[in-house]
Amino acid sequence: MTKKFIGQRIIRNEDPKLLTGQAQFVDDVEIPGMLHAAFLRSDYAHARLVSIDVSAARQRPGVVAVFTAEDMGADWQPGPPLVSPPPTAKDVIFYSRRQVPLVKDKVRHAGEAIAVVIAESRYIAEDAVEDIVVDLEQLEAVVDLEKAMQAGSPLVHDDLDSNLAAHLFQKKGDYEDAKSKADLVIKRRIVIDRGAASAMENRGIVADWDAKSQHLTIWDTTQAPIPIRNGTAARLGLSEHQVRVIAPFIGGGFGPKMMMFYAEELVIPWASKKLKRPVKWIEDRRENFYATTQERGQIHVVEIAFTKDGHILGLKDVFLHDTGAYDPYGLTIPLNTQCHAMGGYDVKNFSTEVSVVFTNKTLVTPVRGAGRPQGIFIIERLLDIASKELGIDRIEIRKRNLIPPDAFPYEHHIIDQAFAPLILDTGNYWPVMAKALEMIGYDEFVKNEQPRLRKEGKYVGIGIAPFIESTGVGPYEGARVTVEASGKISVATGIGTQGQGHFTAFAQIVAEQVGVAVKDVRIVTGDTTEFHWGTGTFASRGAVVAGNAMHAASSIVRKKILELASKVLETPVDELELDDGMVRVADIPTKSISLGELAVLANPLRGAVQPGTEPGLEATAYFGPQYGATAFGTHAMILEVDPETMMIKIRKYVTVEDCGTVLNPLILEGQIHGGVSMGVGNAYYEQLHFDENGQLLNASFADYLIPSATEMPRIDVGHIETRSSLNELGTKGVGEAGTIPVPALFAQALENALYDRELEILKMPLSPNGLFELLNKEKSQ
């Protein structure tokens, strides 16, 4: 079958709605009688709750209820563990400590919710929050990762012996043996600090318990509506069919909205049920800085062993990972770091040991990249250092170490984030890198342009960073495809959508099978009433897992369409054509029937039902990959640094992505552009500054800088397609690809630009200030 829609640059079905302000977001939900919630949050990062007096708040006119942990009684339960510790790893230590609905005994991070006010309006609720008298006894805060692990450090969780949340050691081969044979061993300490996801839309939730129908409807900015439905039902003692969770249009997820069961998700539905009234809570930006999960804080001590001709013999990494005050997300992020610290290179000996650390800071859960940027930063930095020390060109040293195309599937003998053996399914890395070199004009730049610009006194540098991205992990997703009497197609899946273009990309997959126009496929995502089973949108898995479920379901529907048409048109299936919403006899185009007519016929009348008849041209199918598909790519950049101010200008930026089959290059490029922008923030602008007391010092967009249109360059995206062997469409994920290699790329390009300074970048994020300080520190040493 020729590909009619898959791979086409089709304008997004959802855009007219979004661009004209007609799309429904959580805050658009208005229900008569709806109440509004505001939370009292701790100013302290670490404090004992001595007493709380809410009597004045309760008396404020317009306040309907004020709840504390005590008021929740037996319903006060920590959130569920989202990811268990790896059952397949040996000697793993994991202490599960999950976030609580409202603080009961001890505050563990600034911004943790202590009480909630439910009132007639948000204004009243906010005022009443100020009426609450809370006595918090401040405790010494645990902030620095290394200090947190020292004996005598204050404890985030008093029932534990230390701040160690988890410990995991993994190895492949024998690093020490490899090191003994090395010509060069490089050891470095690498620090990566925290950033925020900063979705344009903050979190929000509306819960509406209808006491008469005994039914709870929740609108939630979640990336995972089905787990929220299941968990809420369990917590409130309801059937899953009594709870409907709708994740409508969401203004960006980026991971933190996946973290199901935030305090507010635990409290608002409970309060609605208790009060028998709809309740709305919409997070404000300042709350978002404290109460929405963050990521990236890690400190690595890494060692790498090389032969003199630049071949990697082995890599050893011992690192600390900051999980914040609780660890509901298990080991997903550090496992990703471990699995990406070897990049796309043929590393035969690898030793990796992580200690996950509790701190008095906001919770850490995956943020776009989810541990991968840290891993890629490490290996790429080490290769850059080795390139200088060994005098081998940085492209050449990478080329020498890339996993060769005939080595796939390539097994790494460690476990991945899904606790499955880390296997890179398919890959052909060098062509992607070569294409990026060609697109950036590497040879011409290095030979002619850079020397010329340097003569003019300009500091221009080039960077090139390949990477891999584990994507499309299980367990599974499903889809239901239905031909309606109108001839249009209705599709539902369990995952939610946060701007990924699902309404178009999924429609393309379905339209290709059932022979209609893409605009005639109506997709419903993130409504648990529409689809009962699934997990969520995360780990760059939508297009892979839900996409292949779409493909499977629509393939079955196609078969049903053709079989029914074959009966009606009295023609064998293989003589039929399905296109433009019509089934035609190939040789006699006038002999045809529309999909709408077939759909009507497929809903049999009395007397027409034979045993085994299933009504409708409809099918539900599921897809669960054996393991995650590994995408890959290379980013390259030319940047100019002002040597006085350290402000930068990105002169050229290219990426080449290989994410298997491309469904829609337009959407793919949008994902890459957004991802790169996030990566540029991670590399040179965005850093959450906590002081030694755990106070976040830049909790506003006046101080926390996000790259805007003026900082972002034009990004050229190239594609190469190496189909995944793990699914029928051959797709791999690409949602995080834009972000992953950017810090590594920046470090390389900055060092290359400031060629006459002594500069070795071993930390991220940087900033103009940060780079200035780094240069002056190196100078003074």
Partner 1 sequence: MKIEGDYTFDGPREDVWKLVRDPEVLATCLPGTQSLRLVGENEYEGEVNVHIGPIAGVFSGRLVISNEVPPESCTLTGEGKGKPGFVNGTGNVQLLDQGDNKTLMKYEGEVQIGGRLASVGQRMIDTVSKSMIRQGLGTLNDAIKARVVARAESKEVEYTPPSETEFAAAVAKDVAGGLFSSKFFLWLALAVIMIIMAVIIWFRFG
Residues that bind partner 1 (CB under 8 A): 43-45, 110, 130, 138, 286, 289-290, 691, 693, 695-700, 702-703
Residue 62 gets the label, from left (phi > 0), alpha (psi -120 to 50) or beta, of: left
Q: Judged by CB, which is closer to partner 1: 123, or 755?
A: 123
**CB of residue 415 to partner 1, shortest distance in Å:** 39
Q: Judged by CB, which is closer to partner 1: 543, or 696?
A: 696
Q: Judged by CB, which is closer to partner 1: 586, or 697?
A: 697
**CB of residue 621 to partner 1, shortest distance in Å:** 49
**CB of residue 695 to partner 1, shortest distance in Å:** 4
Q: Judged by CB, which is closer to partner 1: 114, or 667?
A: 114
Q: Judged by CB, which is closer to partner 1: 658, or 686?
A: 686
Report how far residue 162's alpha carbon sits from residue 23's, in angstroms, rounded to the nearest whole number.
48
Amino acid at 20: T
**CB of residue 294 to partner 1, shortest distance in Å:** 14
Say what angle helices 742-753 and 665-684 make with each other, to 10 degrees.
60
Token readout for 357 is 């650390």
Q: Judged by CB, which is closer to partner 1: 105, or 137?
A: 137
**CB of residue 135 to partner 1, shortest distance in Å:** 9
**CB of residue 681 to partner 1, shortest distance in Å:** 19
Q: Which residues contact 626 (CB under 8 A, 6 or more apart)?
A: 726
3-state SS of 155-171 is CCCCCCCCCEEEEEEEE
b/e for 38-66, b at 16 or more Cβ within 10 A? Answer: bbbbbebbbbebeebebeebeebeebbbb
**CB of residue 65 to partner 1, shortest distance in Å:** 21
**Contact indicator for 552, 479 with CB cutoff of 8 Å:** yes
Residue of 353, 355, 354, 369 whose CA lies nearest to 295? 369
**CB of residue 229 to partner 1, shortest distance in Å:** 34
Q: Judged by CB, which is closer to partner 1: 78, or 154?
A: 154
**CB of residue 697 to partner 1, shortest distance in Å:** 4
Place of tokens 């995956």: 366
Q: Judged by CB, which is closer to partner 1: 262, or 290?
A: 290
Q: Judged by CB, which is closer to partner 1: 110, or 744?
A: 110
**CB of residue 67 to partner 1, shortest distance in Å:** 20
Q: Judged by CB, which is closer to partner 1: 218, or 696?
A: 696
Residue of 160, 163, 196 whose CA lies nearest to 690? 196
Class of residue 446 by CB neighbours under 10 A (exposed 0-12, middle 13-18, buried 19+): middle
**Residue 188, H or E segment:** strand 184-192
**CB of residue 694 to partner 1, shortest distance in Å:** 8
Q: Which residues contact 541 (CB under 8 A, 6 or more apart)?
A: 471, 472, 473, 477, 628, 733
**CB of residue 769 to partner 1, shortest distance in Å:** 13
Q: Judged by CB, which is closer to partner 1: 74, or 702?
A: 702
Q: How far are the Cα atoms of 25, 96, 97, 169 from residue 85, in angstroms, in the given order?
A: 35, 9, 12, 13
Report how far residue 340's alpha carbon sits from residue 374's, in angstroms, rounded to the nearest whole number.
8
Torsion angles phi and psi, residue 37, rounded to 5:
-110, 145
- 256 preceded by a cis bond (ω within 30 of 0): no
Q: Judged by CB, which is closer to partner 1: 110, or 302?
A: 110
Return the DSSP state at 27: G
Report how far residue 104's alpha carbon sits from residue 98's, in angstroms, rounded to the nearest whole number.
13
Residue of 619, 481, 625, 479 whose CA lies nearest to 546? 479
Class of residue 73 by CB neighbours under 10 A (exposed 0-12, middle 13-18, buried 19+): exposed
**CB of residue 219 to partner 1, shortest distance in Å:** 28
**CB of residue 698 to partner 1, shortest distance in Å:** 6
Report how far residue 521's alpha carbon sits from residue 540's, in angstroms, rounded to the nearest whole number.
23
Q: Judged by CB, which is closer to partner 1: 133, or 160?
A: 133
Report how far residue 225's alpha carbon sits from residue 535's, in angstroms, rounded to the nearest whole number.
8
Q: Judged by CB, which is closer to partner 1: 741, or 765?
A: 765
Token readout for 49 is 């709750």
Pairing of strands 184-192, 298-306: antiparallel
Q: Judged by CB, which is closer to partner 1: 138, or 592?
A: 138
Q: Judged by CB, which is closer to partner 1: 55, or 180?
A: 55
**CB of residue 43 to partner 1, shortest distance in Å:** 3
**CB of residue 692 to partner 1, shortest distance in Å:** 9
Report how far residue 726's alpha carbon sits from residue 676's, in angstroms, rounded to the nearest whole number.
27
Residue 486 gets the label, from left (phi > 0), alpha (psi -120 to 50) or beta, of: alpha
Residue of 586, 345, 617, 624 whose CA lies nearest to 475? 624
Q: Judged by CB, which is closer to partner 1: 85, or 154?
A: 154
Counting every residue, how long is the chain?
781
Token readout for 322 is 């900051």
**Local structure of 524: helix, strand or coil:** strand
**Contact indicator for 766, 684 with CB cutoff of 8 Å:** yes
**CB of residue 199 to partner 1, shortest distance in Å:** 19
Number of H helices, E strands in the chain: 21, 30
**CB of residue 56 to partner 1, shortest distance in Å:** 13
Q: Judged by CB, which is closer to partner 1: 44, or 632?
A: 44
Report how far residue 215's alpha carbon sits from residue 242's, in angstroms, rounded to the nearest whole number.
5
